[in-house]
Every structure is written in structure tokens, then in C-alpha cells.
Amino acid sequence: MHNPRELALTDAQARQAARMHDYLAAQIAAADGWLSFERYMELVLYAPGLGYYSAGAHKFGAGGDFTTAPEVSSLFGACVARQCAEVLGALGGGCILEIGAGSGRLAAEVLSRLETLGQLPARYWILDISADLRERQRDHLARRLPHLQERVQWLDQPPVEPFNGLILANEVLDALPVRRFRWHPDRVEELGVVIDAGRLAEAARPASSQVAEAGARLANSGGAWDDGYVSEYCPRLTAWTHSVTRSLRNGAALWFDYGLPRSQYYLAERHEGTLLCHFRHRATGDPFLFPGLQDITAWVDYTLLAEASRAAGFTVSGFTTQSYFLAGLSIDQEMHKMAGGDANRFARLANQARQLMLPGEMGERFKAMAWLRGLNLPLSGFALQDLRHTL
Ligand SMILES: C[S@@+](CC[C@H](N)C(=O)[O-])C[C@H]1O[C@@H](n2cnc3c(N)ncnc32)[C@H](O)[C@@H]1O
């Protein structure tokens, strides 16, 4: 790991970091000197005008902080589109709601593929919390698919009217704020944030009954924990997924993110949790570095996501790795199709496919989960490997 504190900030970034620091100090003071980590994560990601997703941080691509599967290659979107076509075909048409559409690449790829397949959705809705990214999505889609602009709509809330179709979310669940706890055999502490000597610092206090109960419930779910085991959980995942999927009457929700089934997430060896922070393509591991300028995420507990599916009235119809999801949707055929016989282009696509699929890259850490409601359909993305028994 690099020493990111040595990374120079631009003047504008330094000013934004200073404003965010003052804002957090005021929030901490107003909360009697201690903020839960969940509230801290919410503020640094979403505080109006200051948070990572609400201010103009660059985020994606070479000049940004991280890269995602749709940014790595159009192959990802082409395969997702194949999965969408299957579902839309079985439903006789429908709409797509994408949550957290980033730069708009996945939307553009899915729409252009579905157009080729003669399976365009009646509407492609985008629900994204970031005003800055919504603008980028509009620009990208206007450039790539000007003739489909009318079909795309940006929403401030999940659709109210029931609809048939699909919900897509790639790397959104990992941004939902998490509670952090430290477990001891006789008690649970909650980790929060204080100002110590003018700097943000971690501080523990006795856990509230809700956090103590969660810590006790999760304890030892992945082997015998040592005293002082630190991890996190996402208390809002169930309510959030319920609210964004409520209006899907018949169809599928497809979730993609890095994560694990609970028994692996809370493995005894993973005693520092799964928080992951990114600043200019460096994993920093320090959530207090450049607050508001770096992305903070936590891995997804896929067992919790499966429980959330039942609570929301869906069934989990598939759970697999990104690698097997893409293989099940014939990524090899897509590579040939996109290369169109050009050997150099094929070599470039093969490199991208390796990045998406190799275990040491995105292939295994990233998982795909499908929820179905009102539809009984084997999904090709989940046909080659079924990991539901691990949930
Ligand atoms: C890591 S980016 C992933 C973007 C895109 N899906 C991709 O794969 O490139 C997370 C996206 O989710 C959005 N987002 C984060 N939290 C959200 C929330 N609570 N509701 C809706 N969108 C959210 C962000 O603005 C951003 O577009």
C-alpha cells in the first residue's frame, strides 16, 4: 500500500477537504463529541455540496479514483444486456431501472445491445443520488445514443407505479453506510469518530442495544473470533433494497458487487472488517484520509442480501461470481462479435475479459445475485455455477 498522505491535493481539493473537515467537526460537536461510523460514512459520501457523491469529485476512469466493470469493458454491458433480453422476452417487454449509473456507460451499452436485439425497454430509468454524475450520464447518453434519448428518464425517487422489467445495480450496495463494531467475548463496542488534537480519529464506546445485538448475532459466524475482532454490518440494506424494488411487479433485480456469503465475510481471519477506500486508484484503507475526496465502501454480506430479498417479496434465483455470470452469458461470443475479425481489437477485448474474469482481478471478488418476482425463469447468467448453497 502506498502512503497516500504524500499525494498532493490540488488547491481546489485542499479547499474542499478543509470545508469538509470543518463541517464534520461541527457535526461531531453537535453530537456531543462522537459520531457513529455509519453517520460519518453517510456525511462524507452524501453531505449536500461536500460529500464524495454530491460534490464534483472526478471518481471514474484514468483521472478518477476507481474503475468499475462497465468502465473496464463494453463486454460487461453486452452480457448484462443479454440477461435483460431474456427477462424482457419472457415478460413480453417492460422497463429497466438502473440504480447508481455512474458515468452512464452501462446504460448506453445495455440500450444499444437491446436495440440490436429488438428488445428495447419501454423506458430506461436512472435513479442516482449524484447530481454531478447525472449530468455526466446525460452527456454520455446524448453522445452515444441521441436517437434513444426520449426513452431515458432520470428519477428522484424509485418509480411509484408498478412496472414489469428489471432493476440493475452495479457497485451501489457497497456505498450504503455501515455500522462498525468491535467484539469482545463479554461485550460489544461501537466504533465511531471523534476529533482528537484537531484531527479525525476513531473512538469506541459501549454499543447501543441494536449494535450489541447485531455483534452478538454475527459473532463466530465465520469461525471463532479473537477478542477485539472488528467488522461492520449494513443496517439499512434491507429497507433500502425494499424501497427501490417495491414497484417492480414482475421481473428481476440484478445486483453486482464485491462481497461474500456471511460465513466468509465474518471469517475469524478477517478481523479488521472489509472497509475499502479509494483515492486516485490507490486503496488507502484509511477512512479519515481526505474525507469527501475519497470513496469509502464496504463489502456486501450476500446472506443479508438474500434475507432482504425474502423480506421484499422476491426469491433469490441465482448467486454466482462475476466470472461465471459473464461466461454463462457467452462473453466469448460477444468478444468475437465486437472484434468483427480484427485481431488487434480481439486482443484488446481478451485483455479486458481477463480483467473482468480472472480470480485475482474482478472475477471472484465480484458476485452477481438475481432476485425474481412474478416470473419463473432460469437465467443464463446463473446457469454455469450456483452458489446459493453458500448463503
Ligand atoms: C461506484 S459507483 C458505480 C457506478 C456504475 N454503476 C458503474 O458500475 O460504473 C456508485 C454509483 O451509485 C450512485 N449512488 C451511491 N449511493 C446511491 C444511493 N443511495 N442511491 C442511488 N445512487 C447511489 C453513485 O452516485 C454512483 O453513480
pLDDT digits (tens, 9 = 90+) for 38-66: 999 999 999 988 899 887 666 666 666 66
Q: Which residues pair with 196 in a beta bridge?
A: 199
Poorest-pLDDT segment among 13-17, 331-335, 359-363: 13-17
CB of residue 71 inside a 6 A radius of ligand 1: yes
Give the closest residue (by CA) to ligand 1 atom 18: 129
Q: Which of 148, 153, 72, 76 is nearest to 111 (CA)?
A: 148
| DSSP three-state, residue 50 | coil
Q: Ligand 1 in contact with 76 (CB < 6 A)?
A: no
Q: How far is the CA of 31 from the centre of ligand 1 (A)?
A: 28
Q: Give the cell for residue 14.
A: 485542499
Which residue is closest in CA terms to ligand 1's atom 17? Answer: 129
pTM for the predicted model, two decimal places: 0.95
pLDDT tens, residue by residue, 271-287: 999 998 887 767 777 89
* Long-range pairs, 138-142, Cβ under 8 A, ≥24: 138/104, 139/104, 140/103, 140/104, 140/105, 140/107, 140/108, 141/104, 141/107, 141/108, 141/111
Mean pLDDT of the 319-330 span: 98
Q: Is the model's pLDDT at 37 over the cut of 60?
A: yes
Share the mean pLDDT of the chain. Answer: 94
Q: Would you state the pLDDT for residue 48?
A: 87
Q: Is the CB of 170 under 6 A from ligand 1?
A: yes
Average pLDDT over residues 63-70: 79
Question: DSSP secondary-structure letter at 129?
Answer: S
Q: Is the CB of 102 under 6 A from ligand 1?
A: yes
CA of 340 to the centre of ligand 1 (A): 32
CA distance 390 to 219: 18
Instruction: Output the CA torsion sign for 307, 312, 316, 319.
Output: negative
Grid coordinates representing 182 are 468491535
Q: What is the mean pLDDT of residues 302-318?
A: 98
181 CA from centroid of ligand 1 (Å): 25
Ligand 1: which atom is nearest the Cα of residue 53?
Answer: 25
88 closest CA partner among 116, 64, 122, 56:
122
Over residues 126-159, the pLDDT tens digits come to 999 998 899 999 999 999 999 999 999 999 999 9
Is the Cβ–Cβ distance between 154 and 136 less than 8 Å?
no
**Burial class of residue 324, CB neighbours in 10 A (0-12, 13-18, 19+):** buried
| C-beta of residue 254 within 8 angstroms of C-beta of residue 325 | no
pLDDT of residue 2: 46
Contact 216, 188 (CB under 8 A): yes
Q: What's the CATH class of domain 69-175+237-265+299-390?
A: alpha beta
Alpha helix (H) ranges present in 36-167? 37-46, 69-72, 74-91, 105-116, 131-144
Q: 3-40 burial, b if ≥16 CB within 10 A, otherwise e?
A: ebeeeeeeeebeebbeebbebbeeebeeeeeebbbbbb
Q: Could you give the angle at the alpha carbon of 313 between the alpha carbons of 257 and 243, nearest 5°? A: 60
- Which of 130, 245, 258 is the best mutation target for the ligand 1 pocket, counting ligand atoms within 8 Å of the beta carbon and taking the most? 130
Domain segments of the chain as ranges:
9-60+178-233, 69-175+237-265+299-390
Cell of 98: 438502473
177 ligand 1 Cβ < 6 A: no
Average pLDDT over residues 292-299: 92
- Relative to beta strand 199-206, strand 124-127 is unpaired
Mean pLDDT of 298-316: 98
Q: Is it the case that residue 222 has pLDDT exceeding 90? A: no
Collapsing DSSP to helix, strand or coil, 263 comes out as helix
Verify whether ligand 1 is closer than 6 Å to residue 137 (CB atom): no
Largest CA distance in the chain: 65
232 and 298 Cβ atoms separated by less than 8 Å? yes
Contact 219, 50 (CB under 8 A): no
